[in-house]
Amino acid sequence: MPVPSAKQPPPRIQIEGTEPVIDCGRYPAKRTVGESIQVEADVFRDGHEVLRAIVRSRPVGAKKWTESPMEPIDADAGGNRWRGAFAPDALGPWQFTVEAWSDPFASWRDELRRKVDAGQEDLESELGEGAQHLRAAADRATGADAKALTAAYTAVADTARDWQHRVAAALDPETIAAADRCPDRHDSTIAGPFDLDVDRERARFGSWYELFPRSWGGFKGVTKQVPKLADLGFDVLYLPPIHPIGVTNRKGANNALVAGKRDPGSPWAIGHHDLGGHDALHPDLGSWDEFDAMIAAARKHGIDVALDFAIQCSADHPWLTEHPEWFNRRPDGTLKYAENPPKKYQDIYNVNWDSEDWRGLWQALHDAMMVWVDRGVRVFRVDNPHTKPLAFWEWLIREVRTTHPDTIFLAEAFTKAAMMRTLAKLGFNQSYTYFTWKTSRYDLVEYMVELAASGMQEYYRPNFFANTPDILHESLVHGGPAAFHARLILAGTLSPSYGIYSGFEHFENVPVTEGSEEYLDSEKYATKKRKLDGPLLPVVKRLNAIRRANPALQHVSNIWFLDAQNEGLIAYAKRTGDNVLLTVVNLDPQWAQEGSVTIPANLGLPPAFGVEDLLTDARYDWRIGPNYVRLEPGGAHVMRVSGR
């Protein structure tokens, strides 16, 4: 038989099934600064030795690892699953490993206890072995631990004393604690390192408001709205593209192919041969000084300004003349405008990602983004990232976040699930979702379980926009104000991040044609006169305050769906520590609905408890088991458990 060739014997400890690890370590998991990351792994070996395991963590580039203990979570059932946690304290890329080793002294103690409990008294050989372990531990220890272990060694090795005193010295809690602080890791085995991306809290939690600056008086007008937006509790102010707009093939009102003289055009038709492209401001919106003042005002009020990053060009974009090789042309030499059949975008041209000068194109896009990063923008909503190379996004996000790790990228990708998941894995910090189209209780529960418990929760951070300039869902068209209220509460309590597009608070719900998701007189092609005075805003303000005050609403994976014996009602609990919220929403915008909502015993609540409806300040007595609820059309309870 062949002789093993390794100089050292192979490891006997196995570490398997480490979590969270994304695609066998290809991509990092995600957390925010100060947020605990729970690490689990199967740790086992042959024999009966006592094992120890720890999580080791550090920022990438740091020399020193921080160690956190792991404990078996199913030891009573004879399992091998271990769990530990750590909380990263800095932005940027991190690494963690799982390390395990056999503990000879603990194994000896366990064996000794069992022999003593069995009534054995001839323990001289065992005590001699224990003395050796204590001597070795004393040599590894320093300070008070070294003194304590040396004293224990002396007592255990003293054959003149009776065996009971020697056993007591070996099993003394202080001796055990001192030995545990200087372990023998002679057979240490390490799994990893595994990657982790650490963001600021805004990547996980925030309330977004979207507006077109041209409908608010440009940058000066938007700046005037910042204090009101802050008072309403918004954390992010998202602006569609603010660049010069092309003239050639400019779209008119309601996407008309011919624009009138006063039609402003679509902001997504980026670029003007005289005014600039992706690194320029539309002059009608204001100057650079006014833009900087808007950013500063938002920062003063704790608001991030998010800019749209759309990789597409009007026919008048400077790049078309400076870099014609970056664009697709038909065999007859004409440019190929963008299409998503049956939609046509005659005012927009896509770049040619297969250009021989793809490196130059990538670098130009990077440089354009850095213009805004250097002016203090730290959030970008990326338009249709699923139609661009994945390798480009992985490179761009890494390049930007290497120097500015507080930058956040939101993927606006309504496409196939695999693509949406991969965009999140490769670096996007937040993602649009299918929420807009999930309107029934079954669909909402099924989708939330996927987001919260399928493994996606480790890397995919949802942002539930209730509406967008492109998406006016039929539930809002036909449901009226009640539907708007219900969708607002659902978005803000199901997802840590949510958003509304201006007009939502006014219940705007008229489509351009029946069955269309496009708004009539869409703001994409027109300038409107907007004000922050919609009738839904008091509820928005209240909801945002509730979200900020209750940590349970700032996470996605802590949700339990509750049995509500009426398909018109959806009920769920969220819990973070002692903060427990119960939400019930009437999904029917036409009729009041009633039924019982059952609180299960495994939610960890007392048999009877009080709740406070944070939307209305009403108080109710609830209990484990069924509880009666009646809600008006689109109505909701957002209740905090407050005790008996």
Assess contact for 365 and 334: CB atoms under 8 A.
no
DSSP 36-64: -EEEEEEEEESSS--EEEEEEEEETT-SP
Q: What are phi and psi of 458, to 5 degrees?
A: -80, -15
Cα-Cα end-to-end distance for the chain: 73
List, in sequence order, every beta strand (DSSP E) within 303-385: 304-309, 337-340, 343-349, 379-383
> For the chain, what is the radius of gyration of the CA atoms?
31
Assess contact for 133 and 108: CB atoms under 8 A.
yes
Q: How far apart are CA 29 and CA 21, in angstroms?
A: 7
Q: Which of 634, 635, 631, 636 is nearest to 593 (CA)?
A: 631
Between helices 441-453 and 474-494, what is the axis angle to 10°?
A: 40
Tokens 């099934």 -> residue: 17
| DSSP code at position 606 | -
Q: Which of 517, 413, 411 is nearest to 468 (CA)?
A: 517
Query: Given CA atoms 356, 362, 363, 365 in this order, what sign does their dihedral have?
Result: positive
Q: How far apart are CA 438 and CA 490, in angstroms?
A: 11
DSSP 577-589: TTEEEEEEEE--S
Q: How far apart are CA 364 and CA 196, in angstroms?
A: 29
Q: Which of 93, 97, 98 is nearest to 196 (CA)?
A: 93
Tokens, residue 304? 């991030």
Assess contact for 582 and 562: CB atoms under 8 A.
yes
Cα 103–Cα 106–Cα 109 angle in degrees, nearest 5: 150
> Which of the residues are catalytic?
383, 412
